[in-house]
Structure 1
Amino acid sequence: MVRGLEDRIFNAVIYLILGIVGIVCVFPLLYVLAVSVTPYGEVLKNGGYIIIPKSFTLEAYHQLFSGNEIVKAFGITVFITVVGTLVNMFLTTLMAYPLSRKNLPGRNFFLFLVVFTLLFSGGIIPTYLVVRDTGLVDTVWAMIIPNAVGAFNLLIMKSFFENIPNELFDSARIDGAKEFRILFQIVMPLSLPVLLTVGLFYAVGHWNEFFQAVMYITDTELYPLQVVIRNILMQSTNPEQMLEEYVPTTTLQMAAVIVASLPIIVVYPFIQKHFTKGVMIGSIKG
């Protein structure tokens, strides 16, 4: 295909805009990473703005993990991310599959209830009272159970299941398969893109857990990583009392941000190829 001058100019402008947007997105991350591995003396010398450090140190990360607070918070976050995502996926799948079957009695009524929760919620105070009366306050389950099923993720998964050909279900039923066997041996293996996509949504939400921890957790031993990072970022410091051999609060803060962001950044590329496919197919109504 021969492209004219206008097409080449158009593509050049698009690439330029995308390049600028990419730089704007990557620059803050590079800045945070550079400051976190730069000695305090060099940070002060450059006025706090560093993109390419001239010297390298991991003292900020060493100090960050030398205390028990960040290690405990990291463990709590890993627990609620892994266990919470498993609970989310199990319950969401069990609810999305029957709602995707058009012969389900009362299907429209249940779908209405799901969509209704996207528009209206019970409010913060009633939700807190429910969590308190069920004994979840000051437990890790307070950050898992209240949001066990996300309505948006449920609808994406339901739409994906609806696009699976009905002939597969009919063949399985002729062979004597029951609904649970059809779900776990036929539907789920065919639904890997949407399962990974919805799982990523849930996992990122749990990893960034902050609001529910602030609402329902008063025991500092149960604080997740994001709450501890917030506390570190909000700590006031007196630079005159700092010695150069100690890691300053600025580099410690930047190291904390990297620790909180790196796991998701590392995991995302491995499921990126399924991400777009899962969202696009799951958004098409069959």
Structure 2
Amino acid sequence: MSDSTTLVYKKKKKKFKIFPLVNAIFFIIVACLIMIPIYRVIISSIDANTSYNFVWLPSKFTWGGYTAVLTRSSLYTPFLISVVTTIIGTFVGLLVVTLGGYVLIQWEMPGRNFFAYMLLFTMIFDGGMIPKYLVIKQLGLMNTLWAVILPMSINVYNLVLMRNFFEGIPESLFEAAQIDGCSPMGIFFKIVLPLSKAALASIGLMFAVSFWNDYTNFKLYITKNKLFNFQIQLRNMVIDSDIPVDDAVNQETIGNAATIIAILPFMIIYPFCQKYFVQGVNVGAVKE
């Protein structure tokens, strides 16, 4: 056997590695642990004889749980409030973190390190619930949607992620734009933002999920029933058994149907954002 033939044979003969197999098995187990509870809730939401036991298929199929929730007119306004809060909150949050991140990559700015350390300090030491409540009250934001939107929009963790992504943009692009006479804000809108679609999509999705699922801030700062969001109203209806129950469906079925309805919007949206989300997971990981 010639040397060239031996070399080709060695290249084709791959050494078996145990780590990829163990890694695949581990993540399959994790995926099952995540999907089994979701599957149980889905099955229970269409089963008229729902019990606390796990079943693979519904014993008595019904859409009664979804019908009972979706036909409640009292949920329409809370649903609209959740949509408005999510859209406006995501926009404001992205505006804050993009502008803040862009400011923090200006190396010539006096006090840049001071402001960066002050922001990081707030990630370690938080004022707490009562000081936040007093600040919101003193600002006159109680019983307004801004009491929910503004505190959640100022997210230092997302700001740091965005700053790290901006630092990964080649400096040669900034220098070329400055030579062409582009202003700092012109660089931001014409160069930085168009190159940050992955980061904007991933961080925007984080903001949107947080606003959509928000319960605590509405419970703390909102006391008027007409300003309750979808999550608050669903909880009140399910826990307080406010939804009428007939022979075709029980309260447990309605509760599971309400859970699926609450998470359904982002189950639909996520596949369209997945490619950007996967790219944005490693924001700032690659630098020039």
Is the TM value for this pair above 0.5? yes
Change over 3 Å in CA distance of 1:264–1:176 after alignment to 2: same
Counterparts in 2 of 1:155-166, with a 5 A limit?
155-166=160-171
- For 1:135 and 1:51, the matched residues in 2 are separated by 51
SS at match of 2:199: helix
Counterparts in 2 of 1:147-226, with a 5 A limit?
147-226=152-231
Change over 3 Å in CA distance of 1:26–1:172 after alignment to 2: same
Q: Name the count of aligned residue pairs.
A: 276
Contact 2:170–2:287 under 8 Å retained in 1? no
- Could you tell me which residue of structure 1 aligns to residue 129 of structure 2? 124
- For 2:163 and 2:25, the matched residues in 1 are separated by 39
- Could you tell me which residue of structure 1 aligns to residue 25 of structure 2? 16
- Could you tell me which residue of structure 1 aligns to residue 3 of structure 2? none
Contact 1:36–1:255 under 8 Å retained in 2? yes
Q: 5+ unaligned residues in a row in structure 1: which ranges?
A: none
- For 1:78 and 1:208, the matched residues in 2 are separated by 11
- Deviation, structure 1 residue 235: 3.1
When Rg is computed on C-alpha atoms for both structures, the one with the higher figure is: 2
| Residue number among 105, 108, 116 corresponding to 2:110 in the alignment | 105
Contact 1:84–1:144 under 8 Å retained in 2? yes
- Could you tell me which residue of structure 2 aligns to residue 2 of structure 1? 13
Residue identity matched to 2:274 = Q
- For 1:158 and 1:11, the matched residues in 2 are separated by 33
- Deviation, structure 1 residue 136: 1.2
Change over 3 Å in CA distance of 1:242–1:195 after alignment to 2: closer
> In the alignment, does 2:82 pair up with 1:71?
no
- Could you tell me which residue of structure 1 aligns to residue 148 of structure 2? 143
- Deviation, structure 1 residue 236: 5.9
- Deviation, structure 1 residue 203: 0.8
- CA offsets 1:229-273 (integer angstroms, 9 cap, x no match): 332443369xxx96413x321111001100111112222222222
Residue identity matched to 1:19 = I
SS at match of 1:281: coil
- Could you tell me which residue of structure 1 aligns to residue 63 of structure 2? 58
SS at match of 2:182: coil
- Could you tell me which residue of structure 1 aligns to residue 274 of structure 2? 272
Q: 5+ unaligned residues in a row in structure 2: which ranges?
A: 1-11
> In the alignment, does 2:33 pair up with 1:30?
no
- Deviation, structure 1 residue 17: 2.9
- Deviation, structure 1 residue 153: 0.5
> In the alignment, does 2:253 pair up with 1:244?
no
- Deviation, structure 1 residue 48: 5.0
Residue identity matched to 1:278 = G
Identity of matched residues, %: 36
- Deviation, structure 1 residue 10: 5.0
- Deviation, structure 1 residue 18: 2.5
Residue identity matched to 1:2 = K
What TM-score do the two structures reach when normalised by structure 1?
0.88
Counterparts in 2 of 1:253-268, with a 5 A limit?
253-268=255-270
- For 2:123 and 2:287, the matched residues in 1 are separated by 18
- For 1:123 and 1:285, the matched residues in 2 are separated by 36
- Deviation, structure 1 residue 111: 0.5
- For 2:197 and 2:189, the matched residues in 1 are separated by 12
CA-based RMSD of the aligned residues comes to: 2.2
- Deviation, structure 1 residue 152: 0.5
